[in-house]
Amino acid sequence: MLLPPLLIRTLGCKWTIVLSMGGYVAFSLGNFYASWYTLIPTSILLGLGAAPLWSAQCTYLTIAGNAHAAKAGKVGLDVVNHYFGIFFLIFQSSGVWGNLISSLVFGQMPTQGAITEEQLLSCGANDCLMATAPGNSTQRPTQELIYTLLGIYTGSGVLAILLVALFLDPIREAPDKSEGETPSVLSTLLSTFKLFRDKRLRLLMLLPMYSGFEQAFLAGDYTRSYTTCALGIHFVGYVMICFSATNALCSELYGKLAQYTGRAPLYALGAATHLSCIIALLLWRPHPDQLPVFFVFSGLWGVADAVWQTQNNVLFGALFAEHKEAAFAHYRLWEAMGFVVAFGYSTFLCVHVKLYILLAMLSAAMMSYVAVEVMECRALRGPSVTVTPAEAGETQTKM
């Protein structure tokens, strides 16, 4: 939580991004010889890089969007919304190419045998033992295929670092004349702690937490207990391509749509979509004969996830404009906490219990969001002024 604002203030957004991306490359390299002594240190580097990377990216987009809006005479929030839409369009499209690459590489494995009806009975919401039970298509890929895939991912990471270092323009927020000098590193660190006193932040922390929960469920449970269990591991990449494609397209769509509808209808759409999916996943019994349904669920999950990814970042940037680095650091902290908790109980709970937890988290997050929107509406209206009959008569006389 302290590292992102410290790096952003000292190095700037650009070089914070470059430095943080090194953690991702290190993690890819660590997987070439996967062991306790390589994965634990590189996982720590990955975690240390993830928070500053995302905080710097969000800060960069917010500053750039507001700067462009000031020059073009547009509303800053609308431009920032559009920028985040474009960013997540490109970001989520990486899931399409990444999963396509992994599917093509691992598609060279021999196909698995037929899935028995007995195995299908333990798929979906009924899955309680998938972590220990033998899977239907969990044959380990050959070392040559693993090295091929890791080589592609590592090369892509190195190329991304070079592109950012060479071509991304450095950017810093212009200091507000009314506020005097630019805040020091120490004051930025203190503001990270002080910001938690804001009641709005304490309420909104449930939104990024839910984002972590729902992403962890899709990546860890849907792909395992639904897709792999009923179809086989070779379908996981294609199902996730559907998720990434709808997520990317909807991110761009929401970025443009938000300036006409506002954020509240988009949050309602995301909540309704995930609510419907959660209830349906509780009732559905996955079967290989229902192949299109697997893609429908992943696609709808992407439609809703695009709301959380774009609108959450815009919301934090708009509400805490004077402390963007601290706000985005808090955002990534609570999102990471959602991932940690969800993956932590992943091997101990049945899938239907995890779905009920998701349902409870979604409900709590949306209630807290509504509370913040009500607080903002009241703040914009200002204190109500009561006019007495005598004052009204005096006003009429003056008129």
Residue 335 near residue 211, CB atoms below 8 Å: yes
pLDDT at residue number 120 = 84
- Does residue 394 register a pLDDT over 50? no
Q: Mind listing the pLDDT tens digit for each residue in 337-389? A: 999 999 989 888 999 999 999 999 999 999 999 999 999 888 877 654 444 44
282 and 229 together in one domain: yes
Which residues are within 8 A (CB) of 350 and not within 5 positions of it... i.e. 6 or more apart? Answer: 125, 126, 127, 128
Task: Let me know if residue 383 belongs to a domain.
Answer: no
Burial 86-105 (b: 16+ CB within 10 A, else e): ebbbebbbebbebbebbbeb
Pairs from 363-367 (Cβ < 8 Å, separation ≥ 24): 364/206, 364/210, 365/206, 365/207, 365/209, 365/210, 366/267, 366/271
Q: Could you give the CA distance from residue 27 to residue 110 in angstroms, rounded to a whole number?
A: 28
204 and 352 together in one domain: yes
- Does residue 31 register a pLDDT over 50? yes
Q: Could you give the CA distance from residue 122 to residue 131 in angstroms, rounded to a whole number?
A: 12
131 and 270 together in one domain: yes
Which residues are within 8 A (CB) of 161 and not within 5 positions of it... i.e. 6 or more apart? Answer: 18, 21, 22, 25
Q: How many residues does the chain have?
A: 399
Residue closest to 266 by CA, chosen among 85, 89, 57: 85
Residue closest to 364 by CA, chosen among 203, 201, 199: 203
Q: Could you give the CA distance from residue 254 to residue 298 in angstroms, rounded to a whole number?
A: 18
363 and 220 together in one domain: yes
Task: Let me know if residue 396 belongs to a domain.
Answer: no
Task: Let me know if residue 7 belongs to a domain.
Answer: yes
Residue 9 near residue 328, CB atoms below 8 Å: no
Which residues are within 8 A (CB) of 80 and not within 5 positions of it... i.e. 6 or more apart? Answer: 61, 62, 65, 66, 69, 314, 317, 318
Specify the 3-state DSSP secondary structure of 198.
coil
Residue 75 near residue 259, CB atoms below 8 Å: yes
pLDDT at residue number 283 = 95
Task: Let me know if residue 391 belongs to a domain.
Answer: no
Could you tell me how far CA 321 lies from the centroid of its own chain? 20
Taking only Cα atoms into account, the Rg of the chain, rounded to an integer number of angstroms, comes to 24
Q: Could you give the CA distance from residue 79 to residue 64 in angstroms, rounded to a whole number?
A: 9
Task: Let me know if residue 180 belongs to a domain.
Answer: no
372 and 246 together in one domain: yes
* Residue 67, Cβ density class (10 Å: 0-12 exposed, 13-18 middle, ≥19 buried): middle
How many domains, in total, are found in the chain?
2
Task: Let me know if residue 37 belongs to a domain.
Answer: yes
Q: DSSP letters along 72-137, please?
A: HT--HHHHHHHHHHHHHHHHHHHHHHHHHHHHHHHTTSPPP-PPPHHHHTTSGGG-SSTTTSPPSS
263 and 347 together in one domain: yes
Q: Could you give the CA distance from residue 77 to residue 100 in angstroms, rounded to a whole number?
A: 35
CATH of the domain at 348: 1.20.1250.20
Instruction: Tell me the whole-structure pTM to 2 decimals.
Output: 0.80
How many helices, marked H, and strands, marked E, lie in the chain? 15, 0
What range defines the domain where residue 247 resides? 110-139+187-378
pLDDT at residue number 1 = 59
- Average pLDDT for 64-77: 90
Residue 94 near residue 101, CB atoms below 8 Å: no
371 and 313 together in one domain: yes
pLDDT at residue number 367 = 96
Cα distances from 163 to residues 92, 171, 173, 175, in angstroms, run 19, 16, 22, 28
Q: Mind listing the pLDDT tens digit for each residue in 273-299? A: 999 999 999 999 999 999 999 999 999
214 vs 95: which has the higher pLDDT: 214
206 and 314 together in one domain: yes
Residue 52 near residue 20, CB atoms below 8 Å: yes
Task: Let me know if residue 386 belongs to a domain.
Answer: no
96 and 238 together in one domain: no
100 and 117 together in one domain: no
Residue 123 near residue 226, CB atoms below 8 Å: yes
Q: Could you give the CA distance from residue 296 to residue 21 in angstroms, rounded to a whole number?
A: 33
159 and 268 together in one domain: no
281 and 232 together in one domain: yes
Task: Let me know if residue 124 belongs to a domain.
Answer: yes
CA angle, 136 then 138 then 141, to 5°: 140
Least confident of 251-260, 372-381, 387-396: 387-396
